[in-house]
Structure formats: structure tokens, C-alpha cells
Structure 1
Amino acid sequence: MSIEEAIKRKLYSGEEEDNNSYSGMSHQDERVEELKRTVREHNMKESSRNKQLLLQKQVLNSAIWHYLEKESETQFRDLLLTNEEKRFIGEEIRQQMVGFGIIDPLVKQSNITEIMINGTEQVFIEKSGKLQLAYDDDGDPLKFGSEDELMNLIEKIVSPINRKVDESDPIVDARLPDGSRVNIVIRPVSLEGPIVTIRKFPENPYPMEKLIEFGALDKEIADFLNDLVHAKYNVVISGGTGSGKTTFLNALSMFIPGGERIITVEDSAELKLTQIANLVRLETRPANIEGKGDIPMRDLVRTALRMRPDRIVVGEVRGGEALDMLQAMNTGHDGSLTTGHANSAVDMLSRLETMVLMSGLELPIPAIRRQISSAIELIVHLGRLRDGSRKVLQITEVRNLKDGEIETVDLFNWKMNADQSTKEKLVGRLEATGNQIMQTGKWEAAGLHPPKIRNISLMEGLQ
């Protein structure tokens, strides 16, 4: 139960809930919000004089309590607040100043992978692959007290990274300090009020061993991919929204030898290659208020080529930067990795064609396909199944052009066991197709034994 509801119940117990009562309750909401805003403003002025205030919990709590006591005994005496209610309000103010308000506990829970705020009245979360409403400690659906409170949260998210969101620029992408991805849409584009979608990433990225434990792939498949990365094969990770592409890219990137120089290029910095000492991270920049100064992915990929990288890791290709990425793979930067949205490995190739055309260069389709077939060697396709689990569904080798089309050969395909699967739990295997890798030059140059693909299966039943 929110503090506003507790105050309402106290003030209106025993009264009939007529129109006047509802009008009064609305007035009490406004008074409580006004109190919070007043105390918060006092403390923000205090923090401008004392830069350490927000970093010292006890000092901040004392300052909040001081102003809360002062205001509740003067211009807000009509609220008749008890000490317990003041403590509730003080904690909300503290969270608004240093945390993420009512969603702060959700941000800190590692088993929550997505937070979706649909205006002030609804907060959904994704937990263990399932969507559900978020509830507070009293078991009530989580709600924001007002749109101002939600906008205050949004401002706290965007201001540290020098981005803005207002009526003239109502859509913005941002990130939290831990790297979690944030998308924000406000009025007038959003009719239901501010919409915030937070895609969370673990503070410590999952290594491949953890993905094996989750059942995303088997150890022998992971060893196979490890050899591919060491041998500097160019790999694209494809999949739909929420299929775990970034998490898998992080895990796959951990196979890169620590002695190499790696350049990462991302729209919003999410990758954490902790084992790489010589690591350079680049992030795009949006335009300023005048619509100038933006630095797109294409510029960063081209800049990365001049920074003497051994490999380039592009967080996700979405547009014309696909052409620059392909050229990097074709000009001595073997072992580069990237991700892209697609429904299958073959669809990923079609999307790459479209993205190259978005570069603005009028290249003929046959030339684009030659670029793709000579640059990309393997596609690892991921999917989120109906039971919420995320798995490797397909590993495909990209070969040469054949009759004007890019030839692809599946090395592994995931197959469901219909007899053992249920609605809540899918059971299946990543089965070898019997096809062998044709492009073995890099494998042999790395001193590895020629790959012999046999029937390797995914672990069953794990989520």
C-alpha cells in the first residue's frame, strides 16, 4: 500500500465515499506529492552546496528527515502525518534522489530481465522468461503516485548520459550505470503517458559455462564455438527480440585471446569483455538540441578500422554500418563478431542485403552478395521458446555464391521431442545435420585438428 493510500484511509475512515470525499482524496494526493517535491527541492539545493550529500546515506537521511519534519509542522500540517508515515515518505524521497524510485528493488533483482512501465498505472516485469505484473511489498500492483514522479525517474536516467526527452524529442534510448538498455517514449507520441522499457543485463556477464548450465547449449557445442573464435572465423549471432543475442555475444567474446587488441562499437554500451586488456569501447552519440553533433554507427565502425584492431565487435548491425562491418571482415580483421535481428540464419543474410542498401551506395545485388559470402563464415541463430527458455537453434555455414544466391548449409538444427515436451517445458536436441565445415583454412592455420562434427545434443529440460 502506498503512503498516499494510507493517508486517505486515515482521513476518510467512517465517511461516505460521495463525490466530495473523492474530490478531497484527490486533493490529499496532490498535497502528499507537493510535500515530496518540496522536501526533494530543499535537499537538491543542499546537495548543490555539498557534493557528497548524495553519496553519504546517513547524512542524506538526516537531511531529508530535517526538512520533512519542518515542512510537515508548517505548511503541510493538514496532512496530520505520523512518524511512521513520515518514514515512508522519507524513504520514497531518498529512492527518488539516489535510486530509481518504486522500481529500485526491481532494478536490483538479478532474476528480473525486463522492466516495462506502461504509464503510471502498470509496471510489468519479465522473470524466468515469463511476463507478469510487478507488486509491492504489500502485494498490491506497483504504481507511480503521479506522472511527475515517473518523469522525475526518466530525468534521472537520461541526465547522466547527456540526453534529453521532451515534447519536441519524445523518444530516446539510454542506459543505466550497470549497462542495462533503456527505451523511453513520452507524450504526445505515447497516448497512455510515459512508457519506459528497461532491458537488464547482469552486472557480471554470463560466461559460456553459465549458458551451458541454463541449457542454452551443450559443452561440446561451446568447445566447437571456442575453436571457431580462436581460429578467427567471422561470426554473426542472429535472433529475435529477447532471444539473448547480446548475452551470447558477451559469452562468445570471452573466448577471444586476451593478448589481442579489440574495438567494440555499440549503439548503447552493453558489452563487458573483462578478459581483454587492450580494449577500446566506442558508443554512438545522438544529435544535440539543434539537431547536430550526432555520431552514428557507420562513423564509429570506419574509425575503428583506423585504430589498429585485431578484431572488431559490433554490438548490433541495424543499418548502413553493415557495409562497413562487411568490409572490415574482408580487409584483414578476421574473427570479428556482431549480432542482428532475424527469424533464421537465411533471413539474416536477406536482412544484411537490405542493410547494405541502406548505406546509400548504389551497389548491385550480386556485388552485395559476394561481399556477404566472402565476409561471413558462420551464423549462430538463437531463439526464445514458448516456455521462456533461450537456446541455440541453428548453426549455419555461409559458403560461396551458387546460381546468384548465397549458399548456406546447416551444421546443427534444434529439434523438439514432441512426446516429452509440455506447454510449460520444452525438451529437444541440437542435432548435427551430418554436414561438415567446408572452409577449413582458418582452422588449420590456427593449428587445430580439422573439425569433425558429430551428433551433439543440447541439455534437456533446463531453463
Structure 2
Amino acid sequence: TVKPPVETVEVSPPETPLIPPEKERAPSEKVTPPLEVEERKEVEKQKEEEIEVEVSREEKEEEGKGELKRRPEEALERKAPERRFSIKTIFSPLTTITESIRKRKRRTTALEEVGPPLVKPKRVPRTLKEELPPADWRVLKEYEVRGGVAMIRIYLDPETSNYIYWVIEPPLSDVEKDNLKRLKDLLQVSLPYSLEAVEEERREKFLLEHLDKVMEDYRIKMSENSLEKVRYYIVRDFLGFNKIDPIMHDPHVEDISCDGPGIPIYLYHRDYGSIKTNVAFPTDEELDGFVVSLAQKCRKTISVANPILDATLPNGSRLNATYGREVTTRGSSFTIRKFREEPLTVVDLVENNTMSADMAAHFWLAVQYGESMIFAGGTASGKTSTMNAISIFIPPSSKIISIEDTREVNLPHENWIAGITRGGAEAERPGDIGMYDLLRAALRQRPEYVIVGEVRGKETMTMFQAMATGHTTYSTMHADSVKSIVYRLENPPIGIPRVLIQALNLVAIHKQLKVKEKRVRRITELVEIIDIEPTTLEIVTNQVFRWNPRTDTFVYGGHSNLYEKIMDMEDLSRDEVLEERDRRAEIISWMVKNGVRKFWDVARVVGEYYEDPHRTLSIIEKNPEVEGNPLEVFERAAEKGRKEHLKAKSVAA
């Protein structure tokens, strides 16, 4: 009788005897299976491993040999002679892995699956990502993202005439997928602290250095090509946005929308509009986990108790998400309104024909002379982009306070307080700070310009009171005409008296339209609020500019109340005011022609004009078309002009 070295494993008696009748042992003796003896001898030789194996032996109907079976309680595993790390240890709870790391030295192993999972995860029908595009699909556009690691292709399906947005990432073999999964599990338990605690500039370097250390400790080896692909997916999933990371890095994408598990993600492309992608989250578990990770990136929480989230991602993009099937019956969902890394400037709007150079110059004068404005339009019509772009005309030294529920406004000014709500715009729960609270606090800080992200509730009354007391205020609103703006302002939940509406000076109506089969944004009307008719109480308006759809141009109405205001303030004639508008339009056209469209570059030219208009105009007239970097030429000429001015001033003194 062979006695086990560690402990005896009792087995249920088999129906067919394992030992011939002539060699049967006494009933009191315990039988140790031969296979167990061999395995325990291996354990003796390799003292690094402490593995407890429980087996149950059953008779095979034909051969009469026993085999190891997976028990319902836990996955059983057979110890191979060369294996150092078992599948049970890898996929056991994190505490077990941590304890195993302390107990024994790890070595490279091959992974082996032990039977099917007890609960088969819910699978969705095959999606676009799992197949190659049909051969008859035509490639309309192709470009790289993420530094060339990933690629985007826009296909046209000839049967449906629909566009398809196709994400192409480095393909992984089965071995590479196994290595990636194992490394991700090891990184999750071995990282010394959260990546959020590391400076943003050092996070990727820190993560890759720790990845190399884990591979060295566990003696995981792979080819250079495989290593590069694994590194890409590690960075993508730990620091990026998982499957939608290439889409988030696509500058042509404005919105990203996921309607539920197993449903292809849709996005809004600047050139092709709303199109379907080949990316999807196949299971509820995967999508739920991704939505939770998005909330964590925003330093917020989302759960079954609070299944709706409005937040701002670290890159400035707006996030709206729902969790589970509590409020969205198809499962978790999310919509991301991407934040441009380089904000649109007024030069971009003129270049895209959202407005004309003359309209931009009119906005410039309106900003300088304290006109309060509302930018109205439908969803994604460009309201906030225009408000942010014309805010660059605010004089550099002015005090600005912005109030938003999700951060969108981006200004180059130093004297700027950026306020954001806590817990939502309406402040419904204890501890929440809404837009109304922020606006009341802002008026005590003596601002010259107040920017309110969007008005929709009781904060609107406070905003109009601020207008009436002389604070220049800008805001956005969902409305498609001046009449609809007045209707929304006068009725609940806002309820502003009509007499207070005349504190508003200018309204810009935005629309998203199709011009020559291309979706574009246009400011269709620029309307002034003049007064209220005393007898009929109707609001008197003046259309300063209007968009001509036939020619896709903007037409000046011939009169502006703003110009009369400037004439009175500056003691100028009408022609002199129009000449000033034309000079500013010339500066904007010069920036468009020479490609001066970056945010800080436009701010630099505008600031120079406020400092010395004549010097700025002189530089533009001498350099109508600049070769090379136009801003460098402009700054050199401006510096030279400053020195000459100081020299002339000192000589005169």
C-alpha cells in the first residue's frame, strides 16, 4: 500500500473495481489512485507549489478508466509537470492572487481552460466587427488616428446607400489575446496605486514601465510585434476609452452614441452626418462596466439607485449616461458630445461660412460696446460654438464669469472665473449647487461680462435682471426664431415679464441645414431687440443680417441700432462707424486668408488691435499674403512698431 505524503483523498467506491479481485485489499485499507501518487510525487519535487486537489472518480462505461471532472462548486485542475501557474489561480478572486504572489515565485506558463463556465454569458448576434466588409463596399475615405496605430475607413453600402464607419485596430492572435488578458489581470492587482494619482503627462510611461516589470517578474516573453500590439491595448483600456478610443481620437467626429448592448455604436461625422460603426459592446456586463468606468473618469458615480449621469470627461467632452435597465429598457447607454481640443474660433466660422466677415465684425463691435446676446437654435446647430468664438472679442483686461452645468466655454483671458454646477443645473438635492446659486454669487463679484451656458429655469430671471442692471450677458437657448424665444421666456418654467425682455440687445438664430447635399450650420438671422410697442405691447425688432439660401450668402439689412449707439457714444458719423466695421472685417478676412485660425493666435491679433488699431491695420496692409508662419510675421512687425512708438515718444518727451 502506497501512503500519500500530504493527505489522503477519499473517493467514492466505483461500481467496477479498479483492482483485480485476486489483489483486493482489506476493507479497512484505503485506496490511493495511481494518478494521485504520480501527482503528489511531482509536488514533492517542486516544493514551490502548494496545490490542493480534490477529485472524484467515476467509471467510464467502455474503458473502465476514471477521469477528473469539474465539480459544480469550483473548477478543478490537473497539475502538469511543467506548469507553475494554474488557471484556477489566475482567475480566482483578487485576494487569492495577491496571497499567491506573496507565497511563490512566478514563471511563464501556458494557459489552459478547464471546462465551460458555469453560467454562459449572454451573447448577441454577430455584428459588423466580427466580419470583413463585403467586397462591393466602396471606400470613400481613409485616414489614421492614434499616431497611425489605428485606422478609420468610411464605406458606402451600395444596397442601402448608407455610410459605414469602420474602425481598424491591430489584430490579435489567440495567444496574444490570452497574454493580453493575463497581463491586464496582473496589472490590476499589482499596480501600487491608482493611475489617477500619477501626473497626466507621466501616466502612459508609468503604466508601460510597470508592464515591463510584470513581464519580467512572471517571465512572459513575446515577439516585438506582439509586444507593441499588447502595449497598445493596455494603454487603450487602462488610460483611454476602451473600444471607442479610436473614435474619441478622430477629429472629424462630433457625437458618439451607444443605445444598448449588442447595438452598433452610432456617431455624427462632420462630413457624412449620422452613421453606424462596426463597434459594439456585446454583453450587458461589458457595457455596464464601461459606463461605470466613464463615470469614474468624471469622478462621479452611477448605479441602479442613481442610474442617470450628466458629467464632463477629463478632456472636456460632455457625457450623458444611463445604467442598467432601470430607465432605459434596452440596457445601459451613453452619449458623448466631443470637446474640440482646439476650440473653434471666429475665423473658423467665417471659413465654414457659418457667418460672413461683416457679421463677425458686427459681433466684435457688439461685444466691445456691451450688447447682451442670446444664441438660439436647435440641438447641435452651433450655438455654444458661436458664443465661445465671439467671446474672444472681449477686451483682454475685462473680468468674466462663466456659469455652466457641463464645462464647454474656453477663453484665453486671465481675468476669468469658470463656474460649474455641483449635482445638476437645478440643485434638487441637499448639497447641490445649481446655476441659480452660481449666478447670484457671480453678480456679487462685479463682473463685466457674464456667460451662462444655457438658460432653462429660474436662473433666467436673475440673468435678465443682471442685463437690466448693466452687466453684459451671453447665453444659449433652444429656439428657432425670435417669437419662440419670447414665448419660452414669458411662459413657465421661466416666466419673465415682457417689459424685462427689452434688456436683451441681440439674438442670433442658428440652424443646421443641407446645402448642396452637405450638412452645414448657418446663422440665418441676426436680430436686434429695439423696444416694446406701448399700445400693443409687441416687441419691436430689427433684422441686421439674414442668410440668403439661394446664394448661400449673408445680406446686411441696411440699419443697426448698435451703430446709432456707437455714434452717440463716440461722436462719430454713420459712415465712420461703417468704416470701423469694415476695418475689423478686413482683419478677420486677413486671418482667414493666411490661415491664422488657432485659438491663441486669433486672441493675439485681437489683443493687438485693442492695443493699437492703426499699427495692426498697417501690418495687415503691408503683409496681405504671408509665406510661412503668418503670426510670427505679425508679431515681429508688431514688436518693431512698439519700439518705434516708444522711441518717438521718448524723443518727444
Q: Distance in 1 between the 2:570 and 2:410 partners?
A: 26
SS at match of 1:388: strand
Q: Which moved more, 1:119-128 or 1:42-51?
A: 42-51
Could you tell me which amino acid in structure 2 is paired with residue 413 of structure 1?
R
Partner residue of 1:397?
Answer: 528
Partner residue of 1:96?
Answer: 237
Instruction: State whether structure 2 residue 529 is matched by structure 1 residue 406.
Output: no
Partner residue of 1:441?
Answer: 565
Q: 2:554 aligns with which of 430, 440, 454?
A: 430
Instruction: State whether structure 2 residue 259 is matched by structure 1 residue 122.
Output: no
RMSD over aligned Cα, in angstroms? 3.6
The superposition leaves residues 404-459 of structure 1 with CA deviations (integer Å, 9 ceiling, x where unpaired) of 22222222221211xxxxxxxxx522223344427833564266654559999xx9
Gapped regions of structure 2 (runs ≥ 5): 1-119, 125-129, 131-175, 590-653
What pairs up with 1:164-179 in 2 under 5 angstroms?
Answer: 164-179=301-316
Partner residue of 2:318?
Answer: 181
Partner residue of 2:187?
Answer: 43
Aligned CA distance change for structure 1 residues 442 and 295 (closer, same or farther; 3 Å): farther
CA contact (8 A) 1:235 1:336 kept: yes
Q: Distance in 1 between the 2:121 and 2:392 partners?
A: 59
Instruction: State whether structure 2 residue 328 is matched by structure 1 residue 152.
Output: no
Aligned CA distance change for structure 1 residues 53 and 44 (closer, same or farther; 3 Å): farther
Q: Distance in 2 between the 1:224 and 1:295 partners?
A: 36
The superposition leaves residues 143-171 of structure 1 with CA deviations (integer Å, 9 ceiling, x where unpaired) of 22533333333233322443221112111
Could you tell me which amino acid in structure 1 is paired with residue 493 of structure 2?
M
Instruction: Name which one, 1 or 2, has greater alpha-carbon Rg.
Output: 2
Could you tell me which amino acid in structure 1 is paired with residue 381 of structure 2?
S
Q: Distance in 1 between the 2:569 and 2:284 partners?
A: 60
Work out the number of aligned pairs and report it: 399
Instruction: State whether structure 2 residue 459 is matched by structure 1 residue 307.
Output: no
Aligned CA distance change for structure 1 residues 401 and 338 (closer, same or farther; 3 Å): same
Q: Which moved more, 1:430-439 or 1:300-309?
A: 430-439
CA contact (8 A) 2:260 2:330 kept: yes
Q: Distance in 2 between the 1:447 and 1:203 partners?
A: 43
Instruction: State whether structure 2 residue 523 is matched by structure 1 residue 388.
Output: no
CA contact (8 A) 1:243 1:382 kept: yes
The superposition leaves residues 253-284 of structure 1 with CA deviations (integer Å, 9 ceiling, x where unpaired) of 0010001000001111111111x111101000
Q: 1:235 aligns with which of 363, 373, 384?
A: 373
Q: 1:358 aligns with which of 490, 493, 501?
A: 493
Could you tell me which amino acid in structure 2 is paired with residue 103 of structure 1?
I
Please report how far the alpha carbon of residue 293 of structure 1 lies from its aligned counterpart in structure 2 after TM superposition: 0.9
Partner residue of 2:335?
Answer: 197
SS at match of 1:254: helix
Q: 2:208 aligns with which of 47, 50, 61?
A: 61
SS at match of 2:273: strand
CA contact (8 A) 1:263 1:311 kept: yes
Aligned CA distance change for structure 1 residues 233 and 56 (closer, same or farther; 3 Å): closer
What is the TM-score when the length of structure 2 is the normalising length? 0.55
Please report how far the alpha carbon of residue 186 of structure 1 lies from its aligned counterpart in structure 2 after TM superposition: 2.6
What pairs up with 1:130-141 in 2 under 5 angstroms?
Answer: 130-133=272-275, 135=277, 141=278
Q: 2:382 aligns with which of 220, 241, 244?
A: 244
Q: Which moved more, 1:440-449 or 1:148-157?
A: 440-449
Aligned CA distance change for structure 1 residues 343 and 148 (closer, same or farther; 3 Å): same
Could you tell me which amino acid in structure 2 is paired with residue 213 of structure 1?
E
Q: Distance in 2 between the 1:48 and 1:68 partners?
A: 16
Could you tell me which amino acid in structure 1 is paired with residue 386 of structure 2?
F
Could you tell me which amino acid in structure 2 is paired with residue 372 of structure 1?
I
Gapped regions of structure 1 (runs ≥ 5): 1-22, 74-80, 136-140, 418-426
Q: Distance in 1 between the 2:121 and 2:499 partners?
A: 71
Aligned CA distance change for structure 1 residues 406 and 36 (closer, same or farther; 3 Å): farther
Q: 2:247 aligns with which of 83, 90, 106?
A: 106
Percent identity between matched residues is: 27
CA contact (8 A) 1:232 1:442 kept: no
Please report how far the alpha carbon of residue 343 of structure 1 lies from its aligned counterpart in structure 2 after TM superposition: 1.2
Partner residue of 2:464?
Answer: 326
Q: Distance in 1 between the 2:268 and 2:215 partners?
A: 36
Could you tell me which amino acid in structure 2 is paired with residue 245 of structure 1?
K
CA contact (8 A) 1:234 1:377 kept: yes
Could you tell me which amino acid in structure 1 is paired with residue 489 of structure 2?
L
Aligned CA distance change for structure 1 residues 52 and 428 (closer, same or farther; 3 Å): closer
Q: 1:224 aligns with which of 358, 362, 369?
A: 362
The superposition leaves residues 166-223 of structure 1 with CA deviations (integer Å, 9 ceiling, x where unpaired) of 1121111111222111111233211222211111121121110111111111111111
Q: Distance in 1 between the 2:264 and 2:232 partners?
A: 22
CA contact (8 A) 2:439 2:462 kept: yes
SS at match of 1:407: strand
Q: Distance in 2 between the 1:146 and 1:71 partners?
A: 31
Q: Distance in 2 between the 1:299 and 1:281 partners?
A: 14
Q: Distance in 2 between the 1:146 and 1:85 partners?
A: 27
Partner residue of 1:424?
Answer: none
Partner residue of 1:17?
Answer: none
Could you tell me which amino acid in structure 2 is paired with residue 253 of structure 1?
S
CA contact (8 A) 1:181 1:268 kept: yes
SS at match of 1:440: helix
Q: Distance in 2 between the 1:324 and 1:372 partners?
A: 12
Q: Distance in 1 between the 2:206 and 2:562 partners?
A: 66
Instruction: State whether structure 2 residue 480 is matched by structure 1 residue 336.
Output: no
CA contact (8 A) 1:124 1:131 kept: no
Aligned CA distance change for structure 1 residues 33 and 84 (closer, same or farther; 3 Å): closer
CA contact (8 A) 1:396 1:408 kept: yes
Please report how far the alpha carbon of residue 395 of structure 1 lies from its aligned counterpart in structure 2 after TM superposition: 0.5
CA contact (8 A) 1:39 1:71 kept: no
Partner residue of 1:378?
Answer: 506
Q: Which moved more, 1:427-436 or 1:58-67?
A: 58-67
SS at match of 1:122: coil
Could you tell me which amino acid in structure 2 is paired with residue 44 of structure 1?
Q
Could you tell me which amino acid in structure 2 is paired with residue 119 of structure 1?
G
Q: Distance in 1 between the 2:333 and 2:460 partners?
A: 30
Please report how far the alpha carbon of residue 305 of structure 1 lies from its aligned counterpart in structure 2 after TM superposition: 0.1
SS at match of 1:336: strand
Please report how far the alpha carbon of residue 342 of structure 1 lies from its aligned counterpart in structure 2 after TM superposition: 0.5
